[in-house]
Amino acid sequence: MGHHISRRTLFRTASGLAVAGALGSALTACGGGTGAGSTNDKLTMTWWGSDERHAAYKKVLAAFQKKNSSIEIEERYSGYDGYFDKFNTNVAGGSAPDLLQMDTALVAQYARKGVLAPLDSYVGKSLDLTGFSKTLLAAGTVDGKLYGVPSGIGVNQLTINRSGLEKLGVAYPDPEWTWADLKKVSVEIHKKSGGKLYGTDDVGGGTLQAFEIFAREKGQQLFSTDGKKLGFTSDTLQEWWEYWADMRKAGACPPPAITSAAHNDLTKNAIVIGKALFTFDTGVYGAGGSITDATLDFLPTPRGDWSGAREGNYVNGGVLLSATKASKRVADSVKIVSFLAQDPTAIKDMQLLRGIPPTEKARDLIKAGLNDTDKRNLAMADYISNRVAKATDVLEAPQPPPQGADQIWDLLFQSNLSIAFGKTTVKSQLGKFFDQAAGILSA
C-alpha cells in the first residue's frame, strides 16, 4: 500500500497545464454559478485514484449509506489524468458533482471562480474536524474561508533505496542531514559503485519536494501572498541552480538525459531504473512499491547549512474533499466528509489511501494494519510534522498555489534542464525565468 497523494503530484504538471487552460475559459462563462448533481435524486461524488482507493471509497460510502439511508450516492471515479478536464466540462454544462476530491494545488482557483461552497458554517456542527490542526486546514482555506477538508497529512519526504545503501556499505544518513550532507553521501555512492550509480535524482527543476523547501529555508515562499508575484529572490534561485550544477559535475546526480526521460514518467525515475539511491519523487512509494524491489525508507528534505537557515518543511493537507457551490446537497456532502474524517471504521478502511491520516486518533487506529514500509513512512511523517510543530522559525504553510503555478513549475524544470544540457548558463537563464514567470502570473 502506498502514499497515493504523491503519485498525484507526479502527474500534476502534465495534467495541470491543461487544467489551467480550461479553467479560465470554461468557468468564466459560468459567471460564478455552476450546475451540480445528477439527473436523479442521488448525491454525486467524484474522486481520482488507484483501484485500491476506489475500492476503499466504495466500502466506506456503502457503510455511510447504511447509517444514512436517506442519502443515496452516485459514485464516479477515474485516474488523475483528465479528471479536472472532465470536471471543468461538467461545471460548464451544469452537471458538476455535489462532492469531489479536490487537488490542493487547484482549490484556490476553483474557490475564486465561485465553483466551490464555503464550509465554515458547518464546522463544529455537522462537520466534525476535531483533531485537525489550524496549519493543516490552511491547505483548504482560501481568502479566510474553508473550501476543502484535508484527507491527511502531506509532508515532503525523500524516498531512499535502503537496501542499495547497505549493499554499497554506505551509512544511512541522519534525518537531520543538510544539503552538504546530501552532496557528500551522493558522491560517496558514485565512487563506491564505480561510477555506475548516482546518489540522487536531479531536482534542480523540482518544486514542491525540493526548491520550495530550499526557498523556505531562506525565509521565502514560492509565491507572494496574493499570488501575483514570485516570492523568492534571484539570488536564491541562482544558488539553487549552482548547487545542482555542482552535483552533476561531481557525479552526485544523473546527467540531463536521465532527468529528462523521467519527467512525468515514474517508470523512468532514477531510483526505479537503478541509477540512483535517493529520489525526491515520492511517487516511487506512491505506486505501492510495485515498480521496485528495493527496500524503501524515508528522510526529510535536507536542512539548510548556512547561518540563519530556517525550518523549510511544512505540513499540508494532501487531497481535499470539497462541495460545489451550486449543489443543493451541500449539507449532505458535509455529512460524508465528516464521516470519512471521524468514523473509526472508515478510517481503518481508507488506511493510507488518501495520505497519512490527519489526526492522531486516526493514525493510532491504522497502525496495526500497516506493512513495514508503510510504518517507516508513517514514522518519518510523524518525525517531520513534530519537527515543524516545534520549530520557532518556520514560515506559515504556503497558500494554495495561484493560477499559473503549474506553468511556473514546468518553467523551473525546463530551465534547469537547459542549464544541465549546456544550452544556457545559470546567470543567463535567471533573467529569462523571472521575466517569463512575471508574464505568467500577471496574465
Which tens digits make up the pLDDT trace of 239-284? 999 999 999 999 999 999 999 988 878 888 888 888 999 999 877 7
Q: Say yes or no to pLDDT of 32 above 80.
A: no
Least confident of 79-83, 177-181, 275-279, 329-333: 79-83
Domain end residue (candidates: 333, 362, 378): 378
In a domain, 358, yes or no: yes
Q: Is residue 33 part of a domain?
A: no
pLDDT exceeds cutoff 90 at 33: no
Higher pLDDT, 72 or 289: 72
Same domain, 407 and 358: no
Pair (100, 75) in one structural domain: yes
Residue with cell 485516474: 79
Percent of the chain's residues with pLDDT above 90: 65
Residue 151 has which C-alpha cell? 484527507
Same-domain check for residues 284 and 308: yes
* pLDDT value at 29 more than 60: no
Domain-terminating residue out of 344, 378, 412: 378
Q: How many domains does the chain have?
A: 2
Cell match 455535489: residue?
98
Q: Report the pLDDT value the prediction gives residue 206, as an integer from 0 to 100.
A: 83
Is the predicted pLDDT of residue 6 greater than 90, yes or no?
no
| Same-domain pairing of 304 and 431 | yes
- pLDDT over 70 for what percent of the chain? 89
- Picking from 325, 343, 378, the residue at the C-terminal end of a domain is 378
Q: Which domain holds residue 273?
A: 157-313+403-442
CATH number of the structural domain spanning residue 203: 3.40.190.10
Do residue 139 and residue 127 come from a single domain? yes
For 281-342, the three-class secondary structure string (H helix, E strand, C coil) is: CCHHHHCCCCCCCCCEEEEECCECCCCCCCCCCCCECCCEEEEECCCCCHHHHHHHHHHHHH
284 and 168 both lie in a single domain: yes
Q: For residue 384, tell me if it sits in a domain.
A: no
* Reported confidence tier of residue 232, pLDDT bands at 50, 70, 90: very high
Q: Grid coordinates representing 133? A: 490542526
Q: What pLDDT is stored for residue 291 in this prediction? A: 62
> In whole angstroms, what is the distance from residue 1 CA to residue 3 CA?
7
Asked if residue 248 belongs to a domain, the reply is yes
pLDDT the model gives residue 25: 47
Question: Would residue 12 count as lying in a domain?
Answer: no
Residue 4 pLDDT > 80: no
> Does the pLDDT at position 12 exceed 70?
no
d(CA 293, CA 72): 42
**147 and 167 belong to one structural domain:** no
Is residue 26 situated within a structural domain?
no
d(CA 313, CA 215): 10
pLDDT band at 402 (very low <50, low <70, confident <90, very high): confident
What is the model's pLDDT at position 322? Answer: 98
Same domain, 50 and 142: yes
Looking at the structure, tell me whether residues 281 and 147 fall in a common domain: no
Is residue 305 domain-shared with residue 200, that is, in the same domain? yes
Same domain, 246 and 214: yes
Mean pLDDT is lowest, of 45-54, 219-228, 398-407, for: 398-407
At 42, the amino acid letter reads K
Angle of helix 179-192 relative to helix 234-249, nearest 10 degrees, comes to 20
Question: Which range, of 231-240, 289-298, 305-314, 375-384, averages the lowest pLDDT?
Answer: 289-298
Tell me what pLDDT residue 187 has. Answer: 98
Average pLDDT over residues 136-151: 92
In a shared domain, residues 327 and 242? no
Mean pLDDT of 98-120: 94
Residue-averaged pLDDT of the chain: 87
Assign 30 a pLDDT band (cuts: 50, 70, 90): very low
Tell me what the mean pLDDT of segment 8-14 comes to. Answer: 36
